[in-house]
Structures are given as C-alpha cells and as structure tokens.
Structure 1
Amino acid sequence: MSAPDLPLPTRLRYFATNLAVRSFFGLALSLPYRWRVPLMGWLASRVIAPVAGWRGRVRRNLAHVMPDLTPNEVERLVRAVPDNAGRTLIEIYSGPDFVNRVKDCPIEGPGLAALEEARAQGRPVILVTAHFGNYDTARAALIARGHNIGSLYRRMRNPYFNAHYVRSISAIGTPMFEQGRRGMMQLVKHLRGGGVLGVLTDLYVGGAPALPFFGQPARTSLVTAELALKYDALLIPTFSIRQANGLDFVVRLEAPIPHTDPETMTRAVNDELEKLVRAHMGQWFWIHRRWKKAGSEDV
C-alpha cells in the first residue's frame, strides 16, 4: 500500500521508523567507505542482532539442519552472519562507492563463457542467486562489463523505506522489476529481447514445493526455472563471495543448469547454493525463516 492509503497510526509508525533509519544511514554514509562497511557489520552483529532476535534464529536454523556443529562454530556464525548482513546493507546503500569498489572484481567459473556466448547469440540468461555474500556485486560487476542485466525485487512493506531502497538498488544498475503483474510484464519483455535477469530464489514461498535444502524440506519457488524453460534462457547459478578483507569479492558463475523440468532444475540450484554455503557458512543469511513449518513463523 502507498503511504496515503495506510491507517494513520501505521503511517506514523512507518514514518518514524524510516526517519530513524535514514538518519542512521546518513551518518554511516558520511564515513569513508573502508570504515563504514566494517562499522555497519560490527553494529549489526553486536547491537542489532541481539535486539532483533537474529542470534536466536541463526541458532535454531543451524540446529534444524546441522545439529552436529560444535558450540564454538555456532557462536562464530551467530556473530559472522549478522556482520555480513550489516555490511551488505550499507554496501547497497553506498551506490557509486560500492560500484567503484566491485566493478573490476574477478569473475570466474564455467558459467562466464556460457554467459558471453549467450550475449553473442542474443539469447536470454537468468542469473539465479541467493542472499549470500553481497548478491548485488555480480550485478554491478557484469553491468560494468556491458551486460544488460535487469533485476527482480520485492516491495518493502514500509512505503517510506521502500522509496529510498528502490533508489539505492537502482543506483547500482537498471532496469529493476517489482514483483507483481506489471513488473512481470516488463521482465518478460526484457528476457524476450535477449536480456539478462538476476533473481534471488532462496526465500520461503508458501504453497511452493518442499525441496531438499541442507537435508530438510524447504518450500522453494519453481518460477525461475519455469521462466528459463519458457523463454529458452540459460539458468546460471551466480554467487558473490566476500573475501577475507571484508570489502572485496570474487564473482563465481557456475555451469548452466541443464533444461529438464522445473523441479529438477530448482533442486540443482538448491544443491549449488548448499555446496557454496557449506564452504562459506558465515556468508549466507541464516537469519531467514527458510524452513517454516505449516502454521509456524519459525523452523
């Protein structure tokens, strides 16, 4: 809903929340990039995570799918996951500073040659990614190399926050397609024109098939695979891996997922993501409610 359509109490609450967030971001963005990113990671890990309940959710998710982790490793991840999330958020809001930092980052993997070949042929490509590392790094780096990449995004519930969120992600690159009927029409036109689409697919989707992820059923949308089949688009798992200095990335494009059927293809995407997360446990967003049970808000 737009702001004028909201009940007055809700509108005031959203306005106040957004004002606080904007003020905080404004202060953070006044700092040099190399300071603001680790500072935001520290604040997210040490201040925001305990208040927001993130630490408990990370522990519950890990206990649900990896019960054999040592207590020391769990506590490391309880700190590392919010740190990466905080860094990602301020990086996205850093616009040109973020783009300048990552536009020349290394890009590797067998999917890179496939992507270049598709561009030469005018064939559409879907880069399927996840809330891992900083997912917008690949978009920024590939746009800088001349790829026509559009991205699908979900509108934020707070309309005041959504306005500057969309401005921030659009500063990294356009076009942007909002989830919904109009956005889907724009997205289809982009694909039919041989464009590249970036899609995040690691969120719980009610009513979607329960596919294995870390050995447990996780409801996962088949839409991305269905689009790839319908428009003969390559489906390339794409991930941006944060490096040890906390500021730089390596973008990895895996081999395209073979066209079979939507469920088989989506299972393969889940498998690629799981393999990467196991290698870099602190970089996936374990804060998500990825393994909801029916009628439950948690695992």
Structure 2
Amino acid sequence: MRWRPEEFSVRYNLLFPLYAHLPPGLGYRLAGHQAGFFRQKRAEEEACIRDQMLGAFPSASGQQLGAWLDDYYRMVEQEALDAWYLQRQPIGAIVELQGFAAVEQARRQGRRVLLTGGHFGRYWMAGPAMRALGHTTGTITRDGGDENIHGLHPAEYRYRLFKLQCLRQALGGPFLVEGDDLRPLYKALNNHLIALIFDVPYVEAHKGVVTVKFISGTIDLPAGIYRIAKKTKAVIAPFFMRDLGNGRVRAEFSALLDPFDYDETALMGLLAGQLEQRIRESPGHWWLWPALPLLRSSNNNEPGRKNFASGREPLAQPDY
C-alpha cells in the first residue's frame, strides 16, 4: 500500500527542486542519471519507441538503438528539470543561439516572424535565450486547460501546469490554447515572436494537412504554420536544438522562409526535410517517436487511434 498521496511525486516534488539549487552542469547530470530508474516504469512506451526507431532505420544495431533510447530518456528528465532552472539560473549558463541574427534583422525591418521546429530536443529553452536579447515569444499550446481532460496522472498534470506557468513568465508573450480564436495571435505578431511547433494532427480533424516525404515514407503535417504566415505576411524561422552535453543546448536557426516563395506542400516538405536531417544526426532527441504511426499518412485515418503526443492517452503510468 502506498503511504504517499497520489498527487505527490518524487521527481516533481523532491528531486527536480533539489537539483535546481545546484550548478546547472551537476543538476542536469543528476537528472540524466535518474532516467534509467524512471524509464523502467515505462516499458510499454520504450518498446513502442524502439519499434518506431527500428522501422525508420532497419539497419540499426542493437547497440545503436540502446544509445538512442538512452539519449531519449535522458532528454525527458533534463527537459523536465528545465522548468525549475528557468527560475533560478542565468539562461546563458544553459542555452546559446546560433543564426538568430537573421531573426533580429527581420524584426528591425518591421517584419513579423513565426518560429517553428518539429519537437526536436529541449526546444522551449530557445525562448528564454531570445528573451534575454529583448525578444518576447508567444505560442499556441495543447496544455493549459482548467481540467485534466486527457486523463494524465495527477502529478504529471500538475507539473504541466507548473511548466506552462514558468514558460509564460520566461517567454513573456501571449499563450493561446489550441482551438481558441486566432485573431489575438495575428495581432500579437506585431510585437512578439510566435512559436508554432508543428505537431501530430488530431485524428478526428484531418482538414488542412499535407503529405510530405519523411524517413523512407510519408507523413501528414498540419499546414497551419504556412497559412498563418501567408495571411499575416510573416517570415518563418525554423530552428532545432543541439545537445552540447551536461544540460547545455544550442538553438540553431536555419535560413528564413517566405511563404510567398512556396506552396504549402513544398514549404512543409522543406521543414520536414530539415527535421529529418536532425533526426538522422541524433535519433534520440526527437520527441514524437511514439506518435510516428499517427504521422504516417497510411495510418492517420484508422478508427480508434489515440494521439499519444498530445497526452490524450499516455502509453504508461510511471511511478512519479
């Protein structure tokens, strides 16, 4: 019988707050070391990720798959710790920016800018680094509701609300919940960078997706980034995170994209190609391995599918 209440979490209530009082290099190393323990509680999820990695890279050895999975679960723990370090440490001790000058120049010229990426690495850490240079960032999120409608573990749900609060304070821009009126977002582009990280489309709402090539097959991606950019005459700034070790990351920005130079399939295909390149370099740093079947166009319309990536039905309920 458990003696602790269901809302209590060893990770969220004890370990991460403790690590956040340590120098970042040490704190992130400790978070990475604990990944092995909490990973044991997520055997079903790990098997799913392994299967998806092997399906994408059939020539991968068992040793390679093991290393990629180690990277993945280390990233999960370190990304969770980010929320606490945002409140305590100078952001420059954790994250750096590369290629951001093009975004700054676009803003000086009065251009609107949409930031985007493909759920690769600890991508939210780019926002506080941009804030340190005077650029606030807003976004659209699938979290943030007043009720736990996705059926998450209570500790996980409370952590997500806490993380969202930390990000709002650190990024400084408006946060909208997916499905809300987009007009405030259009207006916010005048004063803020807006991050739209392309994600898995909802199974029950497949309008507005495009099919593009991706890792020896195709995937379906929502083209909302392209449409919003074109409607608001914004340029698109893709960025991806590179892990530098000991908790440090670098946000690497690609060349700015003008939506008027592409149709929606070509632009989303270009973004998918950039994401694929990063995945091939570091397979363990992509968050959406469990959801790859939902992205594959041949599977997207199967009845009864659940959107694991959005938290609708977690693959496992670990001991938090």
Same fold (TM over 0.5): yes
Q: Distance in 2 between matches of 1:194 and 1:162?
A: 27
C-alpha contact 1:102 1:249 (8 A) present in aligned 2: no
What is the DSSP-based 3-state SS (H/G/I as helix, E as strand, rest coil) of the residue aligned with 1:200?
coil
Q: After superposing the two structures, state which structure 1 stretch, 83-92 or 200-209, moved more.
A: 200-209
User: Residues 280 and 119 of structure 1: is their aligned pair in 2 closer, same or farther, counting only changes over 3 Å?
Assistant: same
Take 2:77 and 2:95, find their aligned partners in 1: how far apart are those partners? 21
Q: Read off the aligned partner of 2:71 and give its amino acid letter.
A: A
1:201: which partner in 2?
Answer: 198
Q: CA 1:78/1:177 → structure 2, altered by over 3 Å: closer, same or farther? A: same
In structure 2, relative to structure 1, the CA distance for the partners of 1:287 and 1:35 (3 Å cut) is farther
Correspondence 1:102-141 to 2 at 5 A: 102=92, 105-109=95-99, 112-141=100-129
Q: Is the Cα–Cα contact under 8 Å of residues 49 and 82 in structure 1 kept in the other structure?
A: yes
Q: 1:102 to 1:240 in 2, by over 3 A?
A: farther
Deviation at 1:200, TM superposition (A): 1.4
What is the TM-score with the length of structure 2 in the denominator?
A: 0.77
1:270 aligned partner: 272
**Equivalent position amino acid for 1:247 in 2:** G
Counterpart mapping for 1:40-119 below 5 A: 40-44=31-35, 46-52=36-42, 53-97=44-88, 100-102=90-92, 105-109=95-99, 112-119=100-107
Match of 1:164 in 2: 162
C-alpha spacing 1:163/1:74, structure 2 compared with 1 (3 Å): closer
Distance change (3 Å), C-alpha of 1:84 and 1:77: same
| Aligned equivalents of 2:133, 2:243: Cα separation in 1 | 20
Separation (CA, whole Å) in 1 of partners of 2:201 and 2:13? 32
What residue number does 2:182 align with? 184
Are 1:236 and 2:237 matched, yes or no?
yes
Structure 1 residues 157-188: Cα deviation after superposition (integer angstroms, max 9, x where no partner): 35644432321222322224232354633212
User: Would the aligned equivalents of 2:138 and 2:172 in 1 still touch at CA under 8 Å?
Assistant: yes
Which whole-Å CA distance do the structure 2 matches of 1:186 and 1:121 have between them? 22
User: Match of 1:67, SS?
Assistant: coil
TM-score by length of 1: 0.82
Distance 1:217 1:50 in 2: 32
User: Deviation of residue 104 (structure 1)?
Assistant: 7.7
- Select which of 290, 293, 298 maps to 1:288: 290
AA of the residue aligned to 1:62? M
1:151 aligns to 2:139 (yes or no): yes
Which of 3, 8, 11 is residue 24 of structure 1 equivalent to? 11
CA 1:152–1:114 in structure 2 vs 1: closer, same or farther (change >3 Å)? same
Question: Which structure is richer in relative contact order (CA contacts within 8 A, separation 6 or more)?
Answer: 2
Say yes or no: does 1:174 pair with 2:172.
yes
- 2:290 and 2:132 map into 1 onto residues whose CA distance is 30
Q: CA RMSD for the aligned pairs?
A: 2.5
Q: CA deviation at 1:237?
A: 0.7
Structure 2 unmatched runs, 5+: 145-149, 309-320
Q: CA deviation at 1:281?
A: 2.1
**Residue 312 of structure 2: aligned partner:** none
Which whole-Å CA distance do the structure 2 matches of 1:287 and 1:42 have between them? 22
Q: What is the DSSP-based 3-state SS (H/G/I as helix, E as strand, rest coil) of the residue aligned with 1:151?
A: strand
One-letter amino acid of the structure 2 residue matched with residue 223 of structure 1? G
Residue in structure 2 matched with residue 12 of structure 1 by the alignment: none
Secondary structure (helix, strand or coil) at the match of 2:172 reads coil
Unaligned runs of 5+ in 1: 1-15
User: Counterpart amino acid of 1:256?
Assistant: L
Q: Is the 8 A contact 1:101 1:248 kept in 2?
A: no
Distance 1:140 1:103 in 2: 12
What CA distance in whole angstroms lies between the structure 2 residues aligned with 1:62 and 1:163? Answer: 30
**How many pairs are equivalent?**
276
